[in-house]
Structure 1
């Protein structure tokens, strides 16, 4: 294991994070809020650590193998979560270390679970920092690191595949042009989203924060009421459109924009169809039990379903008050997630399609034993490695959800909170189900041990579980 190959990119990423801290510091300074000192001190500390690591290994020639890559992915997320918590801990909010780390990890993993209340009166620096954490986490800390590290001859597509579950290898030949296009698309979506929010009635600061957390599928807001603070159907539809776009594969969107290429549309079609069906079901339930206008009911239904299924986690009201069926629907939607290669978390549409194909081929083989029924995706036969990978991930996903739910129950949480807390952290959704961590609650009242476990589970879910679990096995650390 060459730890120097890990220390250099992590150091550079820490320097990058320290520069981001200067933005909320400037916001607080302009607003006359003393928290700017905490951001400045945090930037200095994180920047110094990052600079030392960078300068120490800058001239050394190291290559990232698969083991170093896995360590880098995990180390980057853990280091960023701790560093991102520092300005929160130093702020005037008087947060405990546990709450600061939880909030930072929730932001970076774009989960959107929060321990904070009183957001409407929160200093601008804190609000902006939470949004920036989600925006950075949405594109992927490791992806940003690859773009900044061309001199290391990093296997960039390998790193990108681990972080985002995108399986296409070097779609633009070299990784640098691909990542430049990726960042341009990400920034472009953010700017357009912000402009539309501003036109729809948000202030400039609100539009900036919500654009950062919409495109990243994060869900942090500037108010305890989340999107309900605006009472605007136009804003809800803008959010819905950009949440859907952010749930699509970024490689797919890049091909559409640049070449008009709609290949690999199967999971996109499946994802949109799934969101449409769930939205219609929610609309029927809401329409039967409410007295609002049909268009408003449709807007609320589509908005909340898309928010949950893309793991964004915005809310425009307490949708758990819509009845038992709606509660069950939203709980199940928490498991799903967006497309592979998007900013969304969850199980992902690609894996669901693969599982459906595997089940169909198995059933066909049982009905006609002499018939060769091979699973296909996008018109091509699924390789055994892909099928095995999806099956293993599905098993790990279920086991991880169950194990953490049992741990939360053992820590004293009720069954509803334990189950929904486990899946909302693993899928990086944000709000759970129930009165404690539902859309009208926060995670503040949970025991500290539960918050640490949730933070770890958020990171595990963001890293697609496998890359987080594999480094915990003894065989990974054995020298060959």
Structure 2
């Protein structure tokens, strides 16, 4: 297990040389903080890798439950180092918050005046999201199904449901995922450059778009580039980021598969866009194609948990704000870079609830629950409902904590929702699309960091290690 952790850290450390080069080319002294961080991390992880190197890596289910939270936490600590050592003079709390927000692809930030930031810092923020997005896709397709986390076993690539070791083709799938992820990012960057972003802006925004992270190089987010063609391109690539990468893998192999969650995902996007469009006041906004595109861009940004904003959608009226708040919880598809509750769980939970209601007046009726052409067995249904309970409980718990720590009700509830779903901006004047998280207390920031990690790792893969019986 330590060999794998060391390998991940060595990759993160090596990638720090990219922002070091960006700062060095710009004549910014912060290149030293990236170079020093890279050297230390690569050196220590290299020694650890050699010390714990073995032949074939074989992880038991218990090992995987230990590995997943450990590698994410250690990676966040490593990613925070350049922020902490930079000329921004950030506290360790703020540096860690920014790193966690990046690697979990949340996109919440404590930084302002991004237009005046050194290029290395901006590039590192985007890279943390891009690394985190790739990491969670690989994790959700390879390890989370094996861990049977909240119904993820539905998407297992292993034919045996009782296997004690991950499927043998993990590496091949990880390599294919990385290739598709890279190609989609390159296509997105080229599209942005064709629409008059600079190469630096396009690369950064492409990484933030495909990873559904949402960090920008400007305080105005995508508002700086809010032309109809630009918003359309961004909407498409954010939408791709919210699709299952297993679907994209099979599509690249010439196999078009039908997935219920994709249908639901697209239907919710269209329905939410239409509802907001018809509720916006005609006297306030000139309705037309441009407004429809703007609304769809922001809807896709929230449901994919990207967090880009072309404008402050809190000004669109209470109906729009309510819709955006509920979209925060929904999220994208399983096996995507998006966070949130996930579409497939809504499909299964809805069927379980309907089945329970029907059985209340027809107790002898036998109904077969299905997800597409697959039968939903009792264990899978139970797993999804347990996840639903934990998700609601986690949201309420952290919302109460934030209120106790001094946030008003609206901000506390919104902060809990956006951190758990890894969305980024919340609702309200403090952490809304026009604000950031800098003014929050250190205690709240640390709680948000924990909640972002818990949400990104699908709750159960973190909570299970807190049970004393796990360690016996």
Closer, same or farther in 2 for the Cα pair 1:294/1:65, shift >3 Å?
same
How far the C-alpha of 1:374 sits from its partner, in A, is 2.6
1:397-430 Cα deviation digits (max 9, x unpaired): 0000000111100000000110000010000000
Tell me the distance in 1 between the aligned counterparts of 2:236 and 2:158: 29
Closer, same or farther in 2 for the Cα pair 1:141/1:366, shift >3 Å?
closer
Matching residue of 1:322? 316
Contact (CA 8 Å) 2:151, 2:384: kept in 1 or not?
Answer: no
Please state if 1:282 is matched with 2:282: no
Secondary structure of the corresponding residue to residue 282 of structure 2: helix
Tell me the distance in 1 between the aligned counterparts of 2:140 and 2:287: 48
Secondary structure of the corresponding residue to residue 202 of structure 2: helix
Matching residue of 1:3? none
Counterparts of 1:2-151 in structure 2 under 5 Å?
Answer: 6-59=1-54, 63-140=58-135, 143=138
Please state if 1:175 is matched with 2:163: no
How far the C-alpha of 1:96 sits from its partner, in A, is 0.5
Counterparts of 1:180-195 in structure 2 under 5 Å?
Answer: 180-195=175-190
Tell me the distance in 2 between the aligned counterparts of 1:403 and 1:156: 27
1:221-268 Cα deviation digits (max 9, x unpaired): 0001100011311111111011111111111122123123223x2110
Matching residue of 1:150? none
Which of the numbers 208, 225, 230 marks the counterpart of 2:203? 208
Secondary structure of the corresponding residue to residue 29 of structure 2: coil
How far the C-alpha of 1:156 sits from its partner, in A, is 5.8
1:54-107 Cα deviation digits (max 9, x unpaired): 111114776321111111100111001111000000011110000000000000
Contact (CA 8 Å) 2:150, 2:460: kept in 1 or not?
Answer: no
Tell me the distance in 1 between the aligned counterparts of 2:429 and 2:121: 26
1:384-407 Cα deviation digits (max 9, x unpaired): 111011000000000000001111
Q: How many aligned residue pairs are there?
A: 464
TM-score w.r.t. the length of structure 2 is 0.94
Superposition misfits of 4+ residues, deviation over 6 angstroms: none
How far the C-alpha of 1:114 sits from its partner, in A, is 0.2
Contact (CA 8 Å) 1:182, 1:250: kept in 2 or not?
Answer: yes
In structure 1, list runs of 5 or more residues that go unmatched. 1-5, 147-154
Matching residue of 1:351? 345
Closer, same or farther in 2 for the Cα pair 1:161/1:131, shift >3 Å?
farther
Closer, same or farther in 2 for the Cα pair 1:173/1:58, shift >3 Å?
closer
1:349-371 Cα deviation digits (max 9, x unpaired): 00000011112222232343332
Secondary structure of the corresponding residue to residue 15 of structure 2: helix
Q: How much is the aligned-residue C-alpha RMSD, in angstroms?
A: 2.1
Closer, same or farther in 2 for the Cα pair 1:62/1:210, shift >3 Å?
closer
In structure 2, list runs of 5 or more residues that go unmatched. 160-166
- The more displaced of 346-355 and 54-63 is 54-63
Tell me the distance in 1 between the aligned counterparts of 2:149 and 2:111: 31
Please state if 1:409 is matched with 2:403: yes
